[in-house]
Amino acid sequence: MKSIFIPAQRSLALAGALCAFFLAIGVLAGCKKSGGGAASADPKVFQSASAEAKALWDEALAAQQTNGVVEAYIKFRLVRSQGGLSPDQIAAVDAQCKRINEELGAAAAKGDANAQQALVDIRNASRMRAR
C-alpha cells in the first residue's frame, strides 16, 4: 500500500512555496500599486514630506541597502501609513514594497532559506501590526 504522506523535503518545499504565495498576496494587498508610472527610490521624493515620514523613508532605504529587507519592508509600510503623502510618495513606497516582495519571492522559490525566513518574518510582523 502506498503512503499518502509526502517526503519531508518535498513537504518543506511545498510549504515554502505556499508561504511565499500567500505572503505575496498579502503584500500586494497591503502595498497595492498606485496609478502613475514606476517610482524610483529617489530620496528627493520625500523632501516635502513630514519629518516623521522622511525619517522613516531614509531609514527604510538605508536598511534596504544593507540587506535588512525585513526592517526595510516594515519601515516602508510605516511610511505608507503616514497621512498626507503625495501621489508620488505613495507610488515610491509601493514600488519599494513590490521590489522587496518580488526579490524575496524569487529567492525563496529557488530555495534560499534566508529569503524564506524573511518572508515569514514579514508576514509575522504584518500580523502583529494588524492586531
Domain boundaries, the chain: 8-130
Query: Of how many residues is the chain composed?
Result: 131
Asked if 64 and 72 count as a contact pair (C-beta separation under 8 A), the reply is: yes
| 100-123 pLDDT per residue, tens | 999 999 999 999 999 999 999 998
pTM of structure:
0.66
Cell 538605508 appears where? 62
| 32-64 pLDDT per residue, tens | 433 332 334 676 889 889 999 999 999 999 999
**111 vs 38: CA distance, rounded Å:** 29
